[in-house]
Chains A and B, each alone.
Chain A
């Protein structure tokens, strides 16, 4: 059972465009993380959000945790080719070992120059 659904699965855009990636679940999470993975490498942590409604910014990337702690979004402003990669969300569930994350299936982003 996939508890975290990401949309869209694939996204191809031109440099300079804005985009939003969504991570949705029917389950409540104590925290949610976003990772970026480049071809042939392991995922790299971008951010952790822990409070419902929390917004964090990392340069041109804006992350939001839903008020109900069931969903999250990643917005990229003025995308650049260096943003290309697989974006993964991962949630830590209440009541379980917080080291055990549930990963979404990912959004593959390609930014064309």
Chain B
């Protein structure tokens, strides 16, 4: 299993450009999420999906779009890049922590380091 894969690993954009961050998982997890990680801010949830065709907003959704057409793929689109979107982006897929629990454990990809100038 490759787990969770993300491409590209590094990206530099100019203000106003758009791009798509790719995320794929081969663990057949229903839940997938996108986070951004900034110094001193921890990981913040951007968007998440509970299954193909279903997405919802997280804590910081503005400026980002997502779609989930298959269980495996969950791309994140930046509509018009801004310097405030300079960050490290992580995709994660989730599974239940165990029988009898409602907690989900996250499996993260290696991240995409995005710089917007």
B74 on the A face (CB < 8 A): no
- The reply to whether A48 and B106 contact each other, CB–CB distance below 8 Å, is no
- The reply to whether B97 and A50 contact each other, CB–CB distance below 8 Å, is yes
Given contacts A42-B90, A42-B110, A45-B107, contact A31 B101 (CB under 8 A): yes
- The reply to whether B108 and A43 contact each other, CB–CB distance below 8 Å, is yes
Nearest CB of chain A from residue B62's CB, rounded to whole Å:
17
- The reply to whether A99 and B43 contact each other, CB–CB distance below 8 Å, is no
B33 on the A face (CB < 8 A): yes
Size of the A side of the interface (Cβ < 8 Å), in residues, is 26
Given contacts A43-B90, A97-B50, A99-B31, contact A104 B42 (CB under 8 A): yes
Q: Which of A5-57 contact B (CB under 8 A)?
A: 30-31, 33, 35, 40-45, 48, 50
B35 — which chain A residues lie within 8 A by C-beta? 103
Contact of B110 among A2, A41, A88, A106 (CB under 8 A): A41
B26 on the A face (CB < 8 A): no
Task: Name the interface size band of chain B.
Answer: 20 to 34
Complex Cα distance, B65 from A18, in Å, reads 44
- The reply to whether B48 and A100 contact each other, CB–CB distance below 8 Å, is yes
- The reply to whether B103 and A98 contact each other, CB–CB distance below 8 Å, is yes
Q: Name B's interface SS.
A: strand
Q: Which residue of chain A is the closest to B90 with respect to CB atoms?
A: A42
Complex Cα distance, B102 from A44, in Å, reads 20
A50 — which chain B residues lie within 8 A by C-beta? 97, 101, 103
A101 on the B face (CB < 8 A): yes
A76 on the B face (CB < 8 A): no
A4 — which chain B residues lie within 8 A by C-beta? 42
B108 — which chain A residues lie within 8 A by C-beta? 42-44
A92 on the B face (CB < 8 A): yes
B45 on the A face (CB < 8 A): yes
- The reply to whether A42 and B50 contact each other, CB–CB distance below 8 Å, is no
A62 on the B face (CB < 8 A): no
Nearest CB of chain A from residue B19's CB, rounded to whole Å:
20
Closest 5 CB pairs of A and B: A42-B108, A31-B103, A103-B43, A105-B42, A103-B42
